[in-house]
Amino acid sequence: MEEKKPIEKCEFLCVHEDTVRAVTEKMPDEETLYDLAEFFKVFGDSTRIRILYALHENELCVCDIANLLGLTQTAVSHQLRVLKSSKLVKARRNGKTVFYSLDDDHIHSILNMGISHLGE
């Protein structure tokens, strides 16, 4: 039989009002926190993470990404739409080819921090 772990809780009720007030003053509003949760949900799909990491290394077109990751162009296009609507990737047209890259340095930083965190 599996042993139950004790629930972590305060031993007695003691609200640290100054600390709670200071945190409350710095907390973003509910809409911002909701948007932040939605933003991080996009990172919750391994296919999208693979695409982002490929774009972290270089600008690529749909054909390149599909070939690199062993996916169909349709699957890549679908995921790129999600990533683009979340402002994680941007597109640049060169003749008939559309190249994708990470939207800005923030996305590079997020990926770098994630990889770094996993290595700790």
What pTM, to 2 d.p., does this model score? 0.81
- pLDDT at residue number 63: 97
Residue type (1 letter), 26: K
CA pair distance 78, 5, nearest whole angstrom: 43
Low-confidence residues of the chain: pLDDT under 70? 1-2, 10, 12
| Sheet strands side by side (includes 60-61) | 60-61, 97-102, 89-94
Strands (E), 1-120: 60-61, 89-94, 97-102
- pLDDT at residue number 15: 81
Where residue 64 sits, what CATH number does that domain have? Answer: 1.10.10.10
Q: Is residue 104 part of a domain?
A: yes
- pLDDT at residue number 12: 67
Q: Is residue 13 part of a domain?
A: no
Q: Is residue 32 part of a domain?
A: yes
